[in-house]
A and B are shown apart, each in its own frame.
Chain A
Amino acid sequence: MIESKSYYFNTFHVDEATLERLIQEALHGGGSYADLYFENTTYGNLLLRDGAVTSGGNHIDFGVGVRVLSGEKTGYAYSESTAWADMLSCARAAALIAESPSEVSPYGSKVPSRGEPNPAADRYPVKENWRVLPMASYLPFLQKLEAEVKRRDARVEKVMANLAFQLSDILMYNSSRELKWDSRPMGSVSLTVVFRQGQQVENKSTSRSFRCGAEMLSGSLIEALASDVVKGIDERFAAKRPKGGQMSVVMGAGASGILLHEAMGHAFEADFNRKGTSIFADKMGRQICPKGIQIIDDGTLTGNRGALNYDDEGIPGQKTYMVEDGVLTSYLHDRISAAHYGVRPTGNGRRESFRYAPLPRMRATYMESGEAKAEDLISACKKGIYVDEFSNGQVQIGEGDFTFYVKSGFLIEDGRLTQPVKDINIIGNGPEALSDIRGVAGDLAIDPGAWTCGKEQSVPVSCGIPTVLIGGLTVGGE
C-alpha cells in the first residue's frame, strides 16, 4: 500500500529540507553515512474466548530512528516525537559513534534505488483499510469461526481466536539523498482449540497471516482455519512418543520450510559471516547441497507475510538466490555487510520498529520444487519419521546445530506411514543436513502461518519447501 509523498510528510510533520538538515546534523561528528526511519504504526486486536469477543484494543507506536555509520560501526538513537529539538537530540546521540573513527565504506554508491515508490508495483494492495473500518465489523468473523470449529468436531472444549492487524506508515531518507516511503499492512488470525476425549485433553493451533487489508476476513478463511484445526485431531489423541535416535526424516511440503530457516537461513545472514562467526563463513561458491537444489529468500511474493516494497534501509524488495544448483551463491545483505563484501545490498536490512537499527534478516525463505514424488520419498524410507506441523525452531550459528519442534507427524515403517507421533524435538547440523538431502518432490508450498523470527528483534517472515527426504537427523523420543 503506497500513499502520496505528502501523506507521509504530513504524518511525520517534516519536509525534505528538514530531513536533509537532520542528516547533516547526524553526520556532523564525522560519520560516513546516516539514515532516518520514520514510523507510524497502529495496531488493533480482538480476542474471542469462552464464546464471546470480550476483549480488544488499539495501540499507537510513533517515532523516528536515526542511524549513523562510521565505517562498519553503528550509532543509533530514536525519538518518539518528531519535534525538531527531539530529533536533533537523537541525531547527536547517534553521531557519538563517529568518536571512534573507522575506515569509510561506500554505503550508498552501489545502490540503484533512486526514483520514487511506484504504487503500481505495490506488493500489498489493500482493498479494505484496517484503519477505516470500525472494530465492530470484525466481530462476526470471529463468532462465525468459533461456530464453524464447534460444528466440525463435538470434542471441542474451548476455542480461543485472536485477530491482530496493523498498518505501518514508513518514511526513509539517507545521506545519499534517497527518499522512500511505504505503508505496510498485516492481518493475522490465530486459533487455539482445546479438545477433550474422555479424560484425555489435547490442544491444536493454526494461523493465517498476510500483508493485506480486512478483505482477508472471508468465508474461505473461516473454512481454511476450521479445517486445519480439526484435521488430524484423531491422530493427535492416538499419537505416541517414538523411540528416539537418528533416523531418516521426510519433511512434508509447506511448514517444513522451518528447516531452511533454521538450518541455513540464519547462517547465510551476512552479519554473522562478516564477523566470521557463521559456520558458512568460508563456503561462498562451494557446493553445500546436492546439485539441482535452489534455495531462495524472496521479498516479492504479493501479499506474503515476508513481502517488502522496500526493506528498512530503502533498498527495493527483491528475490535472492542463496543456493543455485547446490552452490552457495549469495548471503543475505544489509548495507553494512554489502559494503563489507563489495556487493549490492539484497534488500534484507530489516528491523522490528524505529526503536532498532536494521540487521540482515530473512523474508520468505523456500526451496524450489524438485522432480520426485512425495509418496516415493516416503516409500524409500525403511525406518524414519514424517513431519508436517511445527511450533518453533532455533539455531546455534557457530556450530550450525539447529532444532525444530514437531507438533505432529507419523512413523515411517517399511515405506508406509504408521503410528502418529507428537511433541518431539528434532536436532541436526545445518551443513550436514543440507548435504544429506536425498530427494526433493515437485510440490512446493509456502506456509501461510504467522511465522515470526526472533533474532534480536521480531520480524514477520514466512517459509516454504516441497516434500524433502533427509538421510539422518536426531529425533527426540523415549
Chain B
Amino acid sequence: MDALLTAEEIALARHCLQYAQKQGASAVRITLTKSLLNLTGILNGEVDKVAHALDRSLQLQLFVDGKYGAFSSNRLEKEGLEGFVRDAIGTVKMLEPDPCRTLPAPERCARDARDGKELALYDPAYENLSAQDRKELALSSMAWPQKASLEQGFTLIAEEGEYSDSVFDSLTLDSQGLHARHTETSFEIGYESTVEDAEGNHYSSFWWDAAPRLKDLSLEGCARKACEKAAAQIGPQSVPSGKYTLIVDSECSSKLLTPVLSALGGYSLQQKNSFLADSLGKKLFPEQLSIVDKPRTVGQTGCRLFDSEGVATRELPIIERGVVKNWFINTYIAAKTGWEASVEDATRVVLEPVGGCKTQQELLEKMQDGILVTGFNGGNSNPATGNFSYGIEGFLIRGGKAVHPVREMLITGNFLSLWSRLAATADDARPCLSKCIPTLAFTGVDFSA
C-alpha cells in the first residue's frame, strides 16, 4: 500500500492548482492531506470505545493581484472544488493588497521529499492490524485485573486507557513546481488512573508513549506506571512560600521552553509582542545553554524535510552557548522586515544536556534539595514581558530524595531570569516528544503556597 493519498486525489490537487491559475491567480500553493485513525478505548478492563476516522482536506493559498487568502475544504469533488476555487479568488480580490505576500524562492524549497518516506517515519505494520489486534494492544497495558495487589493504602477506582494508530499523508504543491510529500505513522498508548485514599480523596495521573513504529512503542506497564504516579500523590502537604531549587521532569520540561521559542517566532517579533525583540546575536542566556533544531533526524518523532511553505528544513542552532543564533522567519515576515528568512517554526528541538548527570535521580542527588515538578496545572505567560506564573504538582526533595507530594503551589518569575539560573540537566529527554528537553534544574525560583 502506497500510504494514503491516491493518484486520483493527487491529480485533483494538480487540477485545482492549474484551474486557480487559469482563473487569475498569479501564484498558488496547495496542500492536500489525508489521515486515518483507529482508536480503542478501555475503561476498567473492558473495551469502552472504538473509533474510526478518515479525514481529507485540500488547503489552498492564493496570491491574486498582489493580494492573499487562505482557504480549505474537505469536499473533494472536482466540480464543487472548481466553484470553491472561483469563489475563493473572488474573495481574495476583495482584500487589501500586500506586496510582501509571495511564494518562497524555489531554491529555498525542499527537493528531496518526493515519496514522503525519506525520513523513515512510515511503518506499514498499521496496514495489517485488525480490530482484534487493536483491542489486544489496548488491553495489554492495563493494570486493572491486578487491582487487589495495588491496594496498599489506596484503591484504584478508575482506569481509562486508549490505544490508537494513525497514518498521515500530505502533499504540498505550488505554481513554481514544488512537490513536497510527508508521510508518517504514529502508534500511541496512554492510560489515566484515579486512586482513592483511606479518607476518600481522589488522585489522578497518566502515562503514555508514542512512536512512529509499532515495534518501538513501550506498551509494558503503561497503566501500572499511571497508577503508581497517582498513588505517589497521596498525602500532599503544604510547603511554605519561598525560593527553592526547581527541578522539572522531562515529561513536562518543554513547558518552560515553548514560550521562548514562541518569542523567537517571526510574527511575535514583527508585531513587537515578544520579550526577545532585538535578541539576534545577543548573549541573553547562560553560557551552558545550547538549543538546536534537528528536523532531519531519520526515524524520530516530529521530523520533517520541509515547513508549511515547502521551504527545506535544516539543522539550525537556536541558542548557542547562550547566544541567540536564529529566529524563525518565513517568507512573508522576511519580505516585510528585511530580516533573513529561515523556516516557519522549530521542528525537533534538542536541548544539549548540561552537567554530566545521566538520570533524573543523579540530578536530584546533585541538587540535593528543592521541589521536583512532575506536572503543571494551568498558568500562562506574557509574551511581551516574559513574565510567567504556573500552577505545579510534584514533590519536596530533601537530600536527593522525594519526601512528600506538595499541593496548591505556584511558580512565578520571568523567563530570562529563570533560564539564567539553569544549574544542570539530566540526559533523559523522552524520544516520543518532538521537543527533546531533559529534566532541568534551576536555582532560586519563587514558589507560592
A-side interface residues toward B, CB under 8 Å? 46, 49-50, 52-63, 72-80, 90, 93-94, 96-97, 99-100, 102, 134-136, 139, 157-158, 160, 192, 194, 196, 201-203, 241, 244-246, 262, 275-279, 281-282, 355, 357, 391-394, 396-405, 422-429, 474-478
Given the known A-B contacts A134-B94, A276-B158, A423-B385, are A474 and B410 also in contact in the complex, defined by CB atoms under 8 Å?
yes
Chain A residues positioned under 8 Å from B383 (CB to CB): 203
Residue among A403, A428, A477 facing the most chain B CB atoms (10 A cut-off): A403
Chain A residues positioned under 8 Å from B194 (CB to CB): 275-277, 398
Whether A54 contacts B95 by the Cβ 8 Å rule is: yes
Complex CA distance for A391 and B378, rounded to whole angstroms: 10
Whether A139 contacts B96 by the Cβ 8 Å rule is: yes
Complex CA distance for A60 and B88, rounded to whole angstroms: 12
B403 CB-CB contact with A under 8 Å: no
Whether A401 contacts B408 by the Cβ 8 Å rule is: yes
Given the known A-B contacts A55-B69, A277-B157, are A158 and B271 also in contact in the complex, defined by CB atoms under 8 Å?
yes
Main secondary structure of the interface of A (DSSP, over half): strand
Chain B residues positioned under 8 Å from A422 (CB to CB): 382, 387
B-side interface residues toward A, CB under 8 Å? 41, 43, 46-56, 67-75, 84, 87-88, 91-92, 94-98, 101, 131, 157-158, 160, 194, 200-204, 230, 233, 241, 271-273, 277, 336, 377-385, 387-391, 393, 407-413, 446-449
Whether B412 contacts A425 by the Cβ 8 Å rule is: yes
Complex CA distance for A384 and B83, rounded to whole angstroms: 60
CB distance from A80 to the nearest CB of B (A): 5
Whether B203 contacts A476 by the Cβ 8 Å rule is: no
Whether B378 contacts A403 by the Cβ 8 Å rule is: yes
Chain A residues positioned under 8 Å from B448 (CB to CB): 244-245, 474-477
A63, A77, A394, A400: the one contacting B378 at CB < 8 Å is A394
Complex CA distance for A99 and B47, rounded to whole angstroms: 10
Chain B residues positioned under 8 Å from A79 (CB to CB): 54
Whether B48 contacts A245 by the Cβ 8 Å rule is: no
Whether B69 contacts A277 by the Cβ 8 Å rule is: no
Chain B residues positioned under 8 Å from A262 (CB to CB): 378
Closest to B379 in A: A425
Main secondary structure of the interface of B (DSSP, over half): strand
CB distance from B185 to the nearest CB of A (A): 19
Q: A392-B380, A403-B410 are in contact. List 19 more A-B contacts (CB 8 A).
A: A55-B68, A73-B46, A74-B50, A94-B50, A244-B241, A244-B447, A262-B378, A277-B202, A278-B202, A396-B204, A398-B203, A403-B379, A405-B379, A405-B389, A424-B389, A474-B449, A475-B448, A476-B410, A476-B448
CB distance from A358 to the nearest CB of B (A): 13
Whether B384 contacts A399 by the Cβ 8 Å rule is: no
Complex CA distance for A241 and B381, rounded to whole angstroms: 13
Given the known A-B contacts A75-B49, A194-B273, A476-B410, are A403 and B204 also in contact in the complex, defined by CB atoms under 8 Å?
no
In the assembled complex, 14 residue pairs joining A and B whose CB atoms fall closer than 8 Å, in A order, are A54-B97, A203-B382, A246-B449, A275-B160, A277-B194, A282-B200, A392-B380, A396-B393, A398-B204, A403-B391, A405-B378, A423-B381, A474-B410, A477-B412
Complex CA distance for A423 and B381, rounded to whole angstroms: 7
CB distance from B88 to the nearest CB of A (A): 7
Whether A158 contacts B68 by the Cβ 8 Å rule is: no
For the complex of A and B, list the 4 residue pairs with the smallest distance between their C-beta atoms, beginning with the closest. A244-B448, A403-B378, A394-B378, A398-B204
CB distance from A457 to the nearest CB of B (A): 12
Residue among B383, B391, B409 facing the most chain A CB atoms (10 A cut-off): B391
Chain B residues positioned under 8 Å from A58 (CB to CB): 71, 87-88, 91
Given the known A-B contacts A57-B71, A392-B378, are A76 and B49 also in contact in the complex, defined by CB atoms under 8 Å?
yes
